[in-house]
A and B are shown apart, each in its own frame.
Chain A
Amino acid sequence: MSTQTKRRGDRKHTPKTKMIGLYKRAIQDAFHKLDPRIAVRNPVMFLVWVGTIVTALVTLDPNLFGTVTADPNQQRLLNGLITLILFFTVVFANFAEAVAEGRGKAQADSLRATRSDTMARKVLPDGSTQSVPSTALRRGEQVKVIAGEIIPVDGEVVSGIASVDESAITGESAPVLKQPGTDIASSVTGGTRVMSDELLIRITADPGQGFIDRMIALVEGAERSKTPNEIALTVLLTVLTQVFLIVVATLSPLANYVNTPTTIAILISLLVALIPTTIGGLLSAIGIAGMDRVAQFNVIATSGRAVEACGDVNTLVLDKTGTITLGNRLADEFIPVNGHSLDRLATIALASSLFDETPEGRSIVQLAEKLGAKLDFQPETTEGVEFSARTRMSGTNLAHGQQIRKGAVDAIKGFVRSRGGSLTPELDATYERVSKLGGTPLAVCQDSEIYGVIYLKDIVKPGIKERFDQLRCMGVRTIMLTGDNRITASVIAQEAGVDDFIAEATPEDKIDVIRQEQSQGKLVAMTGDGTNDAPALAQANVGLAMNSGTQAAKEAANMVDLDSDPTKLIDLVTIGKQLLITRGALTTFSIANDIAKYFAIIPTIFSAAGIGALNIMGLKSPQSAILSALIYNALIIPALIPLALKGVEFRPLTADQLLRRNILFFGLGGVIAPFIAIKLIDVILPFA
């Protein structure tokens, strides 16, 4: 697996969306959502919606369902006010959802602006080019894109080297080099711009099915379906609603029996007050906001299910390089063995890294040159040998058949042995010494002779240990995967504070670790960017692919990080947990609210039955009590929209601590707050 080597520093994610007109559009959408075909999707609020229609009818004719004894005009006024409050309860709930959706739509608009129907130079079989609209291009066809032009659709670079500006998607202003033949750099995205030179690109996606198109569909919520937790909560809320519907529907005969006949409007008010409208109105907004928070982090989630799964993750499988340690390991020291001089080792190391363009390779060249090393051959006469996961070494073939190699100590030992060379204990001692320092030892040889070891220094990212401590506190286990030897891996693992590590890991080990953890009933999250990571990304419950990665990795994962920063997986776990905590907190609050509303309305309905003592809030009159409870019920929804969108403040606590905190803040608060609020509204209302 490889990682992108650009500097990330402390760059924070910045939303690229335009929020202008967000609220205006949300207000419009809130009214559009009154369409019964849309309203029916939210069972709790649909009941309020039907109740609004019934109270509207009794406002027009107070005697519709039976002759009322009170003054018809006064009754009409009360019914009208109840209708108005119920109507706004539904509108506020719709507004909460519309605001959450609007943020996603704004981001989709921003992405849509990058997708333009440009003209493309299609390459014909005879090699000539033809100008065609980008929508006419099909998978498998080839296009030529020159400097200044926009890449029409997603594809793979066939030939050419060019720098490409991907800021439209990633927000990263530095252009990225694209060239054929490598997993990462050969993948290009439609909508990005070629800054220099030209590329011949083979199209990998039909129009409308490219990466940006899929991202637009996702952030707009077109593919949004309820997550398992949302479904479970919906069932719970529906059961509660059903129970209260049956109770209220059968209450009228009881009220008549105790000589306190009630009107239909009051029964509907009682029903609306008792059913969990607060969480019913905010439930979808919380889910959408969770996805939006992920999007604000420049991560695209394929579904709410993926975001929610982040909150339930038990195990994080993390690559060492780029995630736990800083991406670039740098050569710190040359350690000669077998009696060779430092100068000779530096010369051989320089020769071995002649064609190595990785940061590690360049740092070896720099250190060698700093030590005064010079090549004793013409570079033009040599041939580079690229690193591969199989050989685990790279190097240079000289003109006279000599072979210089650098790589993992085991690999170099094998190479030397195959050429009849002998091994000394000095090499193993040096290897152990570097490993124990947490560095990566690279052995350097020429044919059958080992010259020494290069000490590549690994630097653990600042603050990563504290992050892992927090994760452990939340019950999340961390496993580090590295191609390094066991000693180096153990030192880094200890320094970083991971729970477990797998040394000398191959890409196949990833999927094995994931399967092993899943077989114990755990949910696993991992990051990846290479084609060989795709099976593991698909197997993991949360697979975060890097945007710089291959198309296969991006398609297999259920999340794509546009900044290509693997550390974000830890942030995503936090966001997922925050989503679950917010949903739990607001559900607790909503259900706890019922107690105060019960004490506000029930004594008024059964006042003649001698239960006036239950009016513990001392509310002025039955009308005032009902209106106060309903006004509170309506206003609490918009009041909680910011909390639903922003999420409850996250603290790394254990499940028990979280439960206690939830019950204390949102349970007790949910009982006390409405008592105070309803009493205040009752005092303000002019009803005597």
Chain B
Amino acid sequence: MNIFRALIRRELSMFFQGPTGFIIISAVLFLISLGFLVVLYGLNGEATPMPVTQIFYETYFFWLILLLIAPAITMRSFAMERASGTYESLMTAPVGDWQVVLSKFTGALIFYMILWTPLLVCSIVVRFYVGESAVLGFGTMFTTSMGILMIGSLYVSIGCFASALTQNQAVAAVGSFAIGAALFFTGFFSYFSGDRTDFFSLLARHISLANHMESFTRGILDLGAIIFFLSLTSLFLYLTHKVVESRRWK
């Protein structure tokens, strides 16, 4: 446990020792602020039936952050260590492969959640001025955070996987963006399939991240969605572990 904590602290320190972390933070802050403006504009008119979190989620900024930021966070996790050679001293210290994979994943996920804190501040501001729990209850805020955490762990695990495959950070970023975008856009087929119940329409509806996220922002904790995200995250972490382990295959 001690080792795990040391590894996570090291992962987080990598973001804040150089400019990278701060550049990512400013980019996300900018996008969240734009989203916040749209939310304020939406609230300015007549009473809305939607919770504020759902309005925010319906802006493009939310998905932009998700698709772009996760690769930016995770591209360095394995690729940089491989390129600089510190990977060798890390993997020959008495730490297990799983400890390394999980610490890199957890470190990136913590940083990812830190990035979303401005949204929390925005929500509190809105809540303070509106003062009406139907617009923004603590329940919806909680489920939205859950949704962000769930989608985040999936995208961060995809990023770790892509980063473990290469020692070139750019390749890692493009790779994880490609997998993430493919997953995201495949879900859009559910809009075309309408009410059809054939296998592919059902599959498209099931892997539609947008559908899952929408229920989170409405204040619904959908067990199916949580299982979906956790199982996909575990799959990508498992694949990452296999890649890390592969150097010791005969």
Q: Do A and B bind each other?
A: no
